[in-house]
Structure 1
């Protein structure tokens, strides 16, 4: 069969799709990956065939030029934006909050993020005729193109399913409203493209015919939808293993890595890396901190027990560690969890706080809100992770849970069956 992957130009979202794309490819299926033209190199670096569609548009620059939000810069707030913040605080889930939240999300990121690709993707889909379209949750060009060509389609998550949960809440409340007050901004927007391309809106356009979830059940939160669990496979792009990682460390190794998304968009970290380095300076550990060059100017000193590198492949670094400090980002957290390593999560934006709460309940992770992550608090938590065996035991349980899930290769027959069902 022919399978078309669709991703908005966000690196972390695209990387989460690569292992499944390769599993389908090696099973003999034809695979294409569509995104904006500027992402073609990132796709082909993964050995996959890119389909550049539409035009390049930087969402962050578009927001900065929006006259309705003067002097805008990306300063990430704590937790999830509307309407998805209902996951952080269900009490916010009123009809007005959710309806207005969808309108706001469409205006600020859903519409400008997807619009540049829609027409080109529909044209390509009608030409190539994929059997299955797999799209990441923000790439709404995917379901539009799938409906336009008659393909089955599915979401592939790179986070907790905050999108499905918010939609569940919204639909429940919508049904309780008088008919004339059932505003549905997302359905109206998707439906307008449906009419343009000759089909009617259906609810699967918001959440797919089914959803591929890479988060193990002990950490996931799910909506009332059809989910297909899949084992997370670490892929972070082109990487080389440095020589210092060839041998086991002589002292317990602790990694500090706060991800790339914030620095890629020039937002910086919510945590003071200097405070963390200073707080661990006298411990008998080897601290490896991945700090990009753009953040080095914030540091005035580096302790003797610390190694600073701009990047290290986490799937090579994590197995050598006794603990990892991170931001509870999807790829960073799950890559570390693959190897049964206890973690200290310092979450701040999007689903990080909700994800970290789930991880703390599982038992392998300690959590400190990023703006409360003082050096002393981080130090105490790291010492607990190193000294208390319970964290290692629960980290091993989480590792085993992840490895018990179907690999991307094992998922292929189910995808074939579901494609035949939903086409």
Structure 2
């Protein structure tokens, strides 16, 4: 079959999708990856075939961290999707205008530059299945235009699917005259333009591919989830020679992710304070710091090794504990190993993932506004000295590895495609 991936022009999102594209390709299926023209080199660098569609536009996330490290106003999921975790916002009065603004200010702006080009290519290539990330609504529009099956591939907690179900529940409770639906109206307009009609699948896919174990995910009611293992891919990487050797002391890793400096203005923890707090522990600390963050340091502890980047899937198996920002890819990579986590979370779905990880017992978490040096030190010592955290981390590892690999998922995707495709094979 022919499989078309549609992705936002963001490396961190694309990297969640690449392993499944490889699995489909090696199973003998034809695979194409569509995104904005400037993003195509990132796609081809992964050995995949890129299709440039539309025109380039600004990045999705314009929010910037403040100079002192964090901004409480940006510490959560943006409106209206914060209703997924805030019961006080699960109201029609909040969601109806919030969804209207989201469609006007975000979804339209990010999808519009891709829609016409993606539909044009889909009509030319005739994919059987379109796989899209939850921010790329051009994907379901193109799939609907050609009768293809289509699916969302999640890159974290399903806030979009969850809030959509909340919205539909509240809409059904309103009088008919008040049942506005900005997302359905917008997507339906494109469906009719291309000779089809709106269906609810345009908002959340015929099915949803989830790369996280059930214990870390929050499922939206009535949606069809298909689970697979998260397989780490971080782009080009080399394994440094120091990582070939077994560490002489317990190794503790520290990373705050690439998006903090690639997209935002810097880390949301005080790196110097954290390094100082761990300086006298009998550990080997490996900290992946962007050059811009490293330049801010006044001193480097003797027990610390600072590197700009190291592949997490090579580093994690050598660690006794792992400090991270609860970014979904980092967390899921570490979860493939029996290594306890300390999650220093800040925004979007990081707090949700971090707290579910703590509830599972595989680690501890601190919001970055509370991540003082002493708090981090105390948490690290607990992770190293209380065996229950390693035991629970091993249980999470087992749950993760029990999921089907992307290669094992392919036959099920073939079945789902045949079920939902409306054009002949």
Give the TM interval when normalised to the shorter protein: over 0.9
Q: For residues 167 and 148 of structure 1, what CA distance do their matches in structure 2 show? A: 22
After superposition, what is the alpha-carbon deviation per residue over 1:367-405, rounded to whole angstroms, capped at 9, x for unaligned?
Answer: 101111000000000000000000000000000000000
Equivalent pair of 1:87/1:354 in contact (CA under 8 Å): no
Which residue is 1:210 aligned to?
Answer: 207
Secondary structure of 1:55's match? coil
Equivalent pair of 1:132/1:153 in contact (CA under 8 Å): yes
Which residue is 1:71 aligned to?
Answer: none
TM-score by length of 1: 0.95
Shift in Å, 1:194: 1.4
Moved more, 240-249 or 78-87: 78-87
Which residue is 2:13 aligned to?
Answer: 13
After superposition, what is the alpha-carbon deviation per residue over 1:55-102, rounded to whole angstroms, capped at 9, x for unaligned?
Answer: 1111359899xxxxxxxxx96711211111122212211012111221
Q: For residues 259 and 57 of structure 1, what CA distance do their matches in structure 2 show? A: 24
Q: For residues 376 and 62 of structure 2, what CA distance do their matches in structure 1 show? A: 37
Q: For residues 152 and 90 of structure 1, what CA distance do their matches in structure 2 show? A: 34
Q: For residues 103 and 279 of structure 1, what CA distance do their matches in structure 2 show? A: 46
Q: For residues 77 and 407 of structure 1, what CA distance do their matches in structure 2 show? A: 35
Equivalent pair of 1:323/1:386 in contact (CA under 8 Å): yes
Moved more, 173-182 or 376-385: 173-182
Distance change >3 Å, CA 63–CA 222, structure 1 → 2: closer
Which residue is 2:80 aligned to?
Answer: 83
Distance change >3 Å, CA 62–CA 293, structure 1 → 2: closer
Which residue is 2:253 aligned to?
Answer: 255
Equivalent pair of 2:342/2:364 in contact (CA under 8 Å): yes
Which residue is 1:27 aligned to?
Answer: 27
Shift in Å, 1:325: 0.5
Q: What is the aligned length? A: 414
Q: For residues 194 and 224 of structure 2, what CA distance do their matches in structure 1 show? A: 27
Equivalent pair of 1:59/1:109 in contact (CA under 8 Å): no
Secondary structure of 1:346's match? strand
Q: For residues 382 and 330 of structure 1, what CA distance do their matches in structure 2 show? A: 20
Gapped regions of structure 1 (runs ≥ 5)? 65-73
Secondary structure of 2:253's match? strand
Which residue is 2:295 aligned to?
Answer: 297
Superposed counterparts of 1:2-151, under 5 Å: 2-59=2-59, 77-151=74-148
1:220 equivalenced with 2:217 (yes/no): yes
Shift in Å, 1:185: 1.3
1:341 to 314, 336, 339: 339
Shift in Å, 1:191: 1.3
Q: For residues 351 and 299 of structure 2, what CA distance do their matches in structure 1 show? A: 30
Secondary structure of 1:44's match? helix
Secondary structure of 1:287's match? strand
After superposition, what is the alpha-carbon deviation per residue over 1:93-130, rounded to whole angstroms, capped at 9, x for unaligned?
Answer: 10121112212222332222221111100000000000
After superposition, what is the alpha-carbon deviation per residue over 1:341-391, rounded to whole angstroms, capped at 9, x for unaligned?
Answer: 100001111000011111111110101011110000000000000000000
Distance change >3 Å, CA 217–CA 63, structure 1 → 2: closer
Q: For residues 90 and 229 of structure 1, what CA distance do their matches in structure 2 show? A: 27
Equivalent pair of 1:63/1:108 in contact (CA under 8 Å): no
Which residue is 2:229 aligned to?
Answer: 231
Equivalent pair of 1:164/1:207 in contact (CA under 8 Å): yes
Distance change >3 Å, CA 389–CA 61, structure 1 → 2: closer
Gapped regions of structure 2 (runs ≥ 5)? 65-69
Which residue is 1:350 aligned to?
Answer: 348
Secondary structure of 2:342's match? strand
Equivalent pair of 2:61/2:263 in contact (CA under 8 Å): no
Equivalent pair of 2:63/2:264 in contact (CA under 8 Å): no
After superposition, what is the alpha-carbon deviation per residue over 1:226-262, rounded to whole angstroms, capped at 9, x for unaligned?
Answer: 0001011111111100111011111111110011112
Report the aligned-residue RMSD. Answer: 1.5
Which residue is 2:67 aligned to?
Answer: none
Secondary structure of 1:391's match? helix
Which residue is 1:70 aligned to?
Answer: none
